[in-house]
Structure 1
Amino acid sequence: MISNFIKNIFGSRNGRILKEYAPLVKKINGLEDKYQKFSQSDFQLETKLLREKFKENNDLDCILAEAFALTREASIRTLGLRHFDEQLLGGIALHFGKIAEMKTGEGKTLVSTLPAYLNSLSGQSVFIITVNDYLALRDSEWMGEIFNYLGLSVGTITSSLAPDERKKAYECDVIYGTNNEFGFDYLRDNMTYELNQKVQSKLSYAIIDEVDSVLIDEARTPLVISGSAKESSNLYLKINKVTQLLIANNKDDKLFTIDEKQKSVSLTEDGHIQIEEIFVKNNLLQKNETLYDPKNIQLLHLIDASLKANLMYHKDIDYVVENNEIVIIDEFSGRKMPGRRWSEGLHQSVEAKESVKIQNENLTYASITFQNYFRLFDKLSGMTGTADTESIEFQQIYNLEVIVIPSHKKMIRKDHIDQVFLTTKEKYNAIIKDISIIHNTGQPILVGTTSIEASEYISKLLKVQKIKHHVLNAKQHQKEAEIISQAGKLSAVTIATNMAGRGTDIVLGGKDISNTGATPLLDNPEKIKKIGGLYIIGTERHESRRVDNQLRGRSGRQGDPGESRFYLSLEDNLMRIFASDKVTEIMKKLGMQDGEAIEHKWVSNSIENAQKRVEAYNFDIRKTLLEYDDIANEQRKVIYNQRNDILSSDDLSLIYNNILRFTCDDLVRNYIPLDIPSSQWDYNLINDTFKSDFSIDIDSSGVIEAGDHNGRETFKKYIQDVINHKIETNLKILSNEDKKELIRNIFLSVIDEDWRNHLNAMDYLRQGIGLRSYAQKNPKNEYKRESFEMFEEMLSVNNFETIKILAKIKISNPNVSDKLTKDENADFDKNKVNSDISRNALCPCGSGKKYKRCCGKL
């Protein structure tokens, strides 16, 4: 009540911000006459002048009106499209680092050209992120005409692009690509061994199309670059058999319980006992062992993963089996995600369940969440048709404010109240009946489903009724744009799995996608408007209101008529898990019978409340993921900064001296206890350590003079000089350039190896950290503390191993083979080298060269 009173007096914040933008829109419109008089050559000249103007005061805001007006005129001349005032408002919001919510069909792709051109005038590249390669290519070619007319270069990053082509693309003023490609390029750049191998330009400004899909829907799955572990195991198959036995014996939830709301399975005490008995029989456990013994914790994790795989992950809903592999389906977009794998043994457990080849467990080489990748940009903005329902999350996680931009034309779509049935069968019968009635009028229909299974079932029912239709799901990804472009034709019936993020407008009358510009209509749109426009049928409510709104938003674009209705049953997942009790009670009060549908506000409110609860739960999951990744992110920054320093430094002496000093500090700390006189030091242990670790013979007992109260400092200075002398002696045969390259490669190799090991240790820590709660400890705090200790230990080991390699390395004859060996008796056969060795890693023969320039030379 109070908030509504304040809004009535002062207006909403959204309204106040739009009022602040209004003078800028007026100024842009005032420049239209000026730029209409420009010749083609004047546009590129004006771009140069605006760049000079920016350099004078380093403020893009001062040239916003000119840049926007110039872009609009360029768009008119190249594409025949003029930015509306509402699109100008959207562009202004994007420039100021906000999310512009613009309904479907309002021209978001065109809007992005305004802030992209303006921000490119700073000399930094602008990244425009799309949800798939098709849209990246389409938009870069289409909008590229505007940018080229203005004198800007345009690049496109796709999955098929070679490294040298990627580098050229990143040198362009405006770069189109997917969130996955940009994220993976960032990780790969931080794994290179030469500075010129880096491809990605400075992360200055990004515009994310379908921002809710990228920053929210995909935020739960981190980007991971991984490699296969050395050995695979039949353990997953054995555990899968145990799991299936457990499922068969689980009567009255005695062995395990299922919580569909939390998407988790929990073993009971009886379940633990039965599993331990089975494991003992199969020699997976000794008789006196339990699952909770430290060495058996992995078995506990794999059982949990196997139970989830068998009970919570379903074929054609969560994944498909393709070419004897498990391919994940994005639950929000319905798209297949080849190459992506679930972690923590879940993917292997699903492979065991489906009896396909179990791929080796992956070792993580590098990883980052989308949240932390996009927070690396100096400025971030986004566009979508549905962001307002997630505005709190955008604000809290990304510090992005959502601005709702008014539509150019009034929305006249009719959104009918949901129809709710008792059973799924009744629901589908009603859907097919209504499709038949609507189809006979010629009104185009789009049916949205939440799974491949549902889309194929409806298709089967329509075939029985002999109704011609198209199906779009993860199995027909290649035809996506073609199918959607025809969904607005007269009498068209299209079934689509999760319409979220499809990125192609449905134009009444259909459209010819062979031409990206002013596309000709295939049918008369006026005829379709008269019979009601596009009719949206939702076969189930999604967990997120936003995804439902995206489906609805496919109809009623740019003031077109349209209709939408959702058909639900008490057997739907959302209803069954979150809302069935309340809705059943309402149905009983209203005296509903089998076969009848109910349409009532009470029911709609109950469903919306259920969706809000699920959204809150999913937000907590994403927030928790980010809190854990924030810890790893700080460590990632340290490692990547170290790598960048090593790659970019012409003089590595400062880095080397610091590593040597830290190593000697640790040696003294480890082998010489504080406040113990030098006469009581264990000199034999010190001497043996130096001999084995550094191949140095020292008589440390003669170093410290009697009565020297500062013995530790004196000794540290001594060993630092001795180790440094040994390393200089080892490398003196090399030229300065070869020495620098060798040291650089050793630094990077050791960092990468230790960082890989640390990431995998962090994965294991994360998997087991929940058990800390049984000891009345906060898992998050414990993870923070333990991971910090592990990181400090890793840095210490990293320094030690680097110095150890440099001290033990030997160069036999650099003029002949540049062969460097850690051991004089090393026996190395280059024909037996593992093919998985990175071509930029040090060659295992010990030459000090990169593998690609030595034994891996093609």
Structure 2
Amino acid sequence: MFRVLNKIFDNNQRDVARITKTVVQPVAALEEQTKTVEDLAAAFLALRERVQTGGETLDDVMVEAFALIREAGRRSIGKRHYDVQLIGGAALHQGRIAEMRTGEGKTLVATLALCLNALSGKGAHLVTVNDYLARVGAEEMGLLFRTLGLTVGLIQRDMQPMQRQAAYACDITYVTNSELGFDYLRDNMAQDPSQLVLRADTPLNFAIVDEVDSILIDEARTPLIISGAAEKATDQYYVIAKLVKRLNRGEPAEPGKRTEPTGDYTIDEKSKGVHLTEQGITRLERLLSIDDLYSQENMEKAHMITQALRAKDLYHRDTDYIVSAEGEVIIIDEFTGRSMAGRRYGEGLHQAIEAKEGVKIENENQTLATITYQNFFRLYQKFSGMTGTAKTEEKEFLDIYGSDVLVIPTNLPIIRQDAEDLIYRTKVGKFGAVVQETVQMHATGRPVLIGTVSIETSELLSQLLHQAGVPHNVLNAKYEAQEASIVAQAGRSNQVTIATNMAGRGTDIMLGGNAEFMLGEALESMGLSRYDQATENFIKSVMRKDGQAQQLATLLPGVTPEFVQQAEQMRDAVEQDRVRVREAGGLHIIGTERHESRRIDNQLRGRAGRQGDPGSSRFYVSFEDELMRLFANDRVVAMMDRLGMDDSQPIEAKMVTGAIERAQARVEDRNFGTRKQLLEFDNVMSKQREIVYAQRREVLLGPDADVEESTEGMVADFVEMQLAEFAPLDGDHEQWDLEALKAAIVDAIPALEAFDFETLRTLPAEDAHRHMLEAAADAFDERKAELGPELLNGVSRYVLLQVVDQYWKEHLHGMDVLRQGIGLRGYGQRDPFSEYKFEATNMFNEMIDKLKGEVTKYLFRMQVGGTAAA
């Protein structure tokens, strides 16, 4: 019955059928006609003219555009878009999340929506998770884009501003999520239009987010922050790190057993929290020779102690971070297993870890600009995403981003066999079974991919496999330079690969190996570009066996006839190995632990069975695993004890599998709650940020008349604020404090020193206010005449930008402090979030008021010599 109901209410199937009818079939009807088009670039340019000047929409030209893009792919890179890839391209254009299984060609699918949206002339971004994937995508698909007459840009971490400007000015730009976010923030700190790197007119027009679940869900818990050094001593962290080693970790209170916690402090591993006991507080006060650890003057010490304890007990080397050869603490992304160079834990935690490891402590930073990924991507006029696993998170995509998920059918049926989990009592028993299964699979010639959740586990397994005599490769954050090469060849016979979380690796595991990749590497070692048109033509010719490889090789310096023969032998060897691997059963996946997110487990499984290949997978779990230890049911362990089961006896029971799934669901719900709370808090900041950044952009790029009007308006607002405070309309004239009014206004506008403030008392209140405002306007006109309109606008822009940036920076610091302490309001039976909104609004309004006064003061008091502000 449920299957019938699901089919009736399955919008996904209906949407796929609708796109097939309105897009795929019409594109197929144009295919033969499109093959006769000689100049694809001219044909695509004609579509651009129709969109930009002819009044047609992108939807109007989508079918024709897709037909030309499909033909460009066939001609330039030898890849023709499958019908299911056209469905994916249409979904991306519609601003939806496209779920496509691993190996279905997401890189090629993206070209459809990118090229179509580039016709608007406003730019299109392909956002991916690391520099390598951005570079490979831009270079490989660049041939297709250029065939259509489109320009393609690439953003890499070490690029200079002028290079970034050129890349963003292209029709299509490949960029990582972090570089894009930081460029946006830096643009909103620019002091001159020439410093802007994103397009000035439409900086955020259309984006496709690759591995969208990784970026918009997994990374959404960590906001983007641009920081500047704060004036705070760091040597204190070393002292505190030594001090906390002397503290004893205890156990929290347990209802029915202990009414009080034990030890000096307790740890909550689920929330990563630390709690000092009364005994611990007393001991610390004695060790630090202070009376009250939580007094106002000692709050900083208390905070540093908390972070030092978190660093000591909750953040582990080679699991949460690595220490580089240069002594730098580098965070490891818990979802992708990648190192996150340049990212730092906030609120002093990173410094605490550096102190624990005994490396140089970098200065603590002060926030200069910040935004969450959720609010950043919602700034796009339209954005879409693609990944192999998104349907389980559709509710979050809808709630936060307003995007639904369309599951794209696979080009060929999936025949991978997924075995039930095997659950062991301890990690020792589990790893022994993993090694045993790896040895067995290796003996049959099948390639094996072993997925781990940490570097520590991957290196332990590597030692065990060495002892078992199994040759293998290891891929984790310590060996990222070899990532593409290792993953590309992980499907060869007898290949065993250990890898930390496989999310977003971006390189297909092809059975028998990847001959194109191997050939490309060989050519690059000879100094040739892998994605040059001549090189690409040669590689495609070798793979097609069309007999033209020897002739095309003459266009490549250093490529001899002997090399061509070696390339053909390499291709043939891979093809023969592919047959052997398929017959042996394909790639076998071994998961050594369940990840807290089901999506990551599915991504690991999805590495096998691509494009109709055979394959299999199995997860091994122990009750000592982090997920099981914290969230699974203790009754199962008790049952194993009663049955007398030891490490050699796994269980394969629905009850345990259900416990694992419930544990994962609980963690996912908790993480969703964390992200949602982060977003709710950031939404308050987001509204303020939009106001400040819009004002800033208007000052930076607006016409002189608007800048002058804005500045004059701030002067008037400042004067009105002083009148409201010292000479209110509804107040008694005799009670007006005109001395204070004069002091406040003359301090900012010295030109009003001679103004007779006492005359205001003789006028009706409204007339008095009007008279004061007119005097301020006259003073502004005099300043304008003194400087000249051109210099006044130059000074106004300079003053506005400087003052806005200074006050915004101070406001961000104030918001950080407010956010850290707002949770305490809950103890007073008040809602922390409501309190935060109320306080944040008051702080913002106060900032705006102060800003207007400071702008007024600078404008009238700034000394100007020659033609520039001094």
Give me the TM-score of the superposition, normalised by structure 1. Answer: 0.90
- 1:538 touches 1:566 (CA, 8 Å); kept in 2? yes
- 2:264 touches 2:280 (CA, 8 Å); kept in 1? yes
Taking a change above 3 Å as real, the CA distance of residues 318 and 715 of structure 1, as seen in their structure-2 partners, is: farther
Q: Partners of 2:451 and 2:756 in 1: how far apart? A: 81
Q: Partners of 1:52 and 1:164 in 2: how far apart? A: 32
Shift of 1:249: 7.3
- Please list the CA deviations of residues 699-741 of structure 1 after superposition, one character each: whole Å capped at 9, or x if unmatched: 666542665331xx44444544555555655665545333321
- 2:727 touches 2:738 (CA, 8 Å); kept in 1? no
Equivalent residue in structure 1 for 2:377, among 374, 378, 392: 374
Shift of 1:268: 3.1
Q: 1:317 corresponds to which residue?
A: 319
Taking a change above 3 Å as real, the CA distance of residues 65 and 690 of structure 1, as seen in their structure-2 partners, is: closer
Q: What is the correspondence of 1:297-376 to structure 2 with a 5 Å cutoff?
A: 297-322=299-324, 323-376=326-379
Q: 1:645 corresponds to which residue?
A: 698
- Please list the CA deviations of residues 661-695 of structure 1 after superposition, one character each: whole Å capped at 9, or x if unmatched: 11111111233355443333334333444454444
Taking a change above 3 Å as real, the CA distance of residues 737 and 593 of structure 1, as seen in their structure-2 partners, is: same
Equivalent residue in structure 1 for 2:444, among 429, 441, 445: 441
Q: 1:667 corresponds to which residue?
A: 722
Q: Partners of 1:505 and 1:703 in 2: how far apart? A: 82
- 1:344 touches 1:767 (CA, 8 Å); kept in 2? no
- Please list the CA deviations of residues 383-428 of structure 1 after superposition, one character each: whole Å capped at 9, or x if unmatched: 1111111111111111111111111111111111111111111111
Q: Partners of 1:442 and 1:64 in 2: how far apart? A: 47
Q: What is the correspondence of 1:157-556 to structure 2 with a 5 Å cutoff?
A: 157-201=155-199, 202=202, 203-247=204-248, 253-279=262-288, 281=289, 285=290, 287=291, 289-291=292-294, 293-322=295-324, 323-511=326-514, 512-513=516-517, 514=520, 518=540, 520=571, 523=574, 524-556=577-609
Q: Partners of 2:635 and 2:399 in 1: how far apart? A: 32
Q: Partners of 1:641 and 1:17 in 2: how far apart? A: 38
Q: 2:110 corresponds to which residue?
A: 112
- Please list the CA deviations of residues 75-98 of structure 1 after superposition, one character each: whole Å capped at 9, or x if unmatched: 111111111111111111111111
- 2:34 touches 2:71 (CA, 8 Å); kept in 1? yes
1:16 maps to amino acid: R
Q: Partners of 2:792 and 2:624 in 1: how far apart? A: 70
Aligned alpha-carbon RMSD (Å): 2.2
2:146 maps to amino acid: N
Q: 2:860 corresponds to which residue?
A: 807
Paired positions, count:
805
Q: Partners of 1:685 and 1:346 in 2: how far apart? A: 47
Q: 1:127 corresponds to which residue?
A: 125
- 2:129 touches 2:211 (CA, 8 Å); kept in 1? yes
Q: What is the correspondence of 1:565-576 to structure 2 with a 5 Å cutoff?
A: 565-576=618-629
Q: 1:100 corresponds to which residue?
A: 98
Q: Percent identity?
A: 44
Q: Partners of 1:736 and 1:558 in 2: how far apart? A: 67
Taking a change above 3 Å as real, the CA distance of residues 704 and 7 of structure 1, as seen in their structure-2 partners, is: same
Shift of 1:36: 1.2
- Please list the CA deviations of residues 750-809 of structure 1 after superposition, one character each: whole Å capped at 9, or x if unmatched: 000000010111011101111110111111111111001000000001100011112222
1:245 maps to amino acid: R
- 2:51 touches 2:58 (CA, 8 Å); kept in 1? no
Q: 2:654 corresponds to which residue?
A: 601
- 1:723 touches 1:807 (CA, 8 Å); kept in 2? no
- 2:800 touches 2:855 (CA, 8 Å); kept in 1? yes
Shift of 1:590: 5.7
Question: More deviation in 769-778 or 261-270?
Answer: 261-270
- Please list the CA deviations of residues 39-84 of structure 1 after superposition, one character each: whole Å capped at 9, or x if unmatched: 1x24423432453156434422121111111111111111111111
Q: Partners of 1:270 and 1:568 in 2: how far apart? A: 38
2:661 maps to amino acid: E
SS at match of 2:247: helix
Question: More deviation in 692-701 or 346-355?
Answer: 692-701
- Quick check: 1:622 aligned with 2:675? yes
Taking a change above 3 Å as real, the CA distance of residues 159 and 528 of structure 1, as seen in their structure-2 partners, is: same
- 1:432 touches 1:461 (CA, 8 Å); kept in 2? yes
Q: Which has the higher helix share?
A: 2
- 1:683 touches 1:700 (CA, 8 Å); kept in 2? no
SS at match of 1:365: strand
Q: 1:89 corresponds to which residue?
A: 87
Q: Partners of 1:42 and 1:250 in 2: how far apart? A: 71
Taking a change above 3 Å as real, the CA distance of residues 151 and 808 of structure 1, as seen in their structure-2 partners, is: same
Q: 2:825 corresponds to which residue?
A: 772
Shift of 1:248: 5.5
Q: Partners of 1:722 and 1:750 in 2: how far apart? A: 24
Q: 1:36 corresponds to which residue?
A: 35
- Please list the CA deviations of residues 141-198 of structure 1 after superposition, one character each: whole Å capped at 9, or x if unmatched: 1111111111111111111221111111111111111111111111111111122321
Q: Partners of 1:108 and 1:528 in 2: how far apart? A: 25
Q: Partners of 1:535 and 1:249 in 2: how far apart? A: 43
Q: 1:841 corresponds to which residue?
A: none
Give me the TM-score of the superposition, normalised by structure 2. Answer: 0.89
1:59 maps to amino acid: T
SS at match of 2:28: helix
Q: Partners of 1:435 and 1:476 in 2: how far apart? A: 22
- 1:703 touches 1:715 (CA, 8 Å); kept in 2? no
Q: 2:554 corresponds to which residue?
A: none
Q: 1:830 corresponds to which residue?
A: none
Question: More deviation in 554-563 or 228-237?
Answer: 228-237
Shift of 1:271: 3.2
Shift of 1:625: 0.5
Shift of 1:441: 1.5
- Please list the CA deviations of residues 249-272 of structure 1 after superposition, one character each: whole Å capped at 9, or x if unmatched: 779634333222222222334333
- 1:592 touches 1:598 (CA, 8 Å); kept in 2? no
- 2:89 touches 2:110 (CA, 8 Å); kept in 1? yes
Shift of 1:616: 0.6
Equivalent residue in structure 1 for 2:713, among 643, 658, 676: 658
- 1:628 touches 1:780 (CA, 8 Å); kept in 2? yes
Q: Which runs of 5+ in 2 are unaligned?
A: 253-260, 521-529, 544-570
- 2:722 touches 2:741 (CA, 8 Å); kept in 1? no
Shift of 1:576: 0.6
- Please list the CA deviations of residues 611-632 of structure 1 after superposition, one character each: whole Å capped at 9, or x if unmatched: 0111111000011111111110
Question: More deviation in 296-305 or 84-93?
Answer: 296-305
SS at match of 2:310: helix
Question: More deviation in 14-23 or 776-785?
Answer: 14-23
